[in-house]
Structure 1
Amino acid sequence: MKIATWNVNSLKVRLPHVLDWLAANRPDALCLQELKMEDKAFPAAELEAAGYRAVYNGQKTYNGVAILSPHASGETTRDIPGFADEQKRIIAATIGGVRIVSAYFPNGQAVGSDKFEYKLRWLAALTEWLRDEMKAHERLVLAGDFNIAPEDRDAHPDWKEEIHVSPPERAAFAALTELGLADAYRLFDQPEKSYSWWDYRMGAFRRNFGLRIDHILVSPALRENCRACTIDKTPRKLERPSDHAPVVVELAL
């Protein structure tokens, strides 16, 4: 089973890239973030023509998440239950016996800001919800743009900003792993300076000045089934790309 995650930074703009990537890679599930469109604008027909059905949770201009799959999906959840939030950042569905959560974590803007405090509240709510989800679903995958580089090796050595690498953010990431979720990428030997996001400015991609902030976490029941986890930089090299690259995990299921 192949599961991928990709912050597309506008599905309307990046739809041709998504369709091409689906055709080339044929994942069993593709989690998308930053759709930046309302549900009524979601390109369901184009994706169905490519062999993929979708569940999605969108809003105008900002945020928005989806899960695409050629397989039937069930038990869909939108948003974090019990957490009042107008921002559309969560969609979950069960596909092939695996509970898949596509998540777009808040950016946080700057350490100490109101948006940063919202990020930490959101993370705490997500963690508590996932604690219950993992009791109900032994096979669970949390995939998305976490907006957190969990270790120093996940950020370029010259990264000087506090955001994405601050101790509170990393502690919140650690709280997810303490539930039993494992960072699939770190289950395997990986090249140094492996990143999934590069700013559009200052030739960041060309210089590999990036962060690894897109992650796939797997529950204990899936950890032993992980066969590979990779970052696919190919779409980042296209014209008008997303600033993020897809991350892909392969599970022997």
Structure 2
Amino acid sequence: MPDRNVGTVIVTGASRGIGASISRELARAGLSVACLSRSGELPDADALDDVERSRLAALRCDVTDSASVIAAFGEVPRLFGEPVIGLVNNAGIHLQGPSSTFPISDFERLMQANVSSVLLASQVAYPYLREAGSPLIVNIGSFYDKLGVRGNTAYCASKAAVGAITRCLAVEWARDGIQVVNVAPGYIETDLNRDELNESALQAFLKKRIPVGGPGQTGDIGRLVAMLFQLPGRFLTGETIYVDGAQGMAL
């Protein structure tokens, strides 16, 4: 049975949005969190209480640069003097445009940020996780992985690839006791998209289109990820968990 009461979880893209919420919820669950981001800033620094602040440490890292990832991950065990028991691959970007004219350079940039980074971070984390008692990798995908969305060929393809990586790593690394799960959010309100989602036309569309009545909050994802790190058993692996208010299945 997993024992994840003590250890450090690495979260990429941790300074804002969903990554920040995941980091804080993991800290509230009693885990130490290495918060990686390009800025190297703590998530929601002004809002942290003393307990959260003691369990969070920020590191600068560019997940598209292998040297940066190797260097940052190498620092993690020294942050809290604990084993690395988990990785949350959250960092990514969203680019969109007509498929007929979408620049291949932008497609490759998006795939590097959203797909190659997931495999790279998982590879670098692998030797640390293999030594842990009950390691878990959580990839943050998207419900776009199963949809056809105009102007989003690159993004949809990248998130479908994250699901595929999740399945393959789960099968291959099961012998090492490593669980791998893909969490696929739907529309989630963050500080980056709040104004757009609250624009009247889109707000009305989402209220009608999402069965639960509107977008989710970052805490919905953060609490789920924290819960995954506390679940007993090792049989949940390789799966994609959709958190989209039932939008992806609604007619």
The interval holding the TM-score normalised by the smaller chain is 0.3 to 0.5
Task: Give the structure with the higher percent strand.
Answer: 1
Task: Give the structure with the higher percent helix.
Answer: 2
TM-score, normalisation: structure 1: 0.47
TM-score, normalisation: structure 2: 0.47
Larger radius of gyration: 2
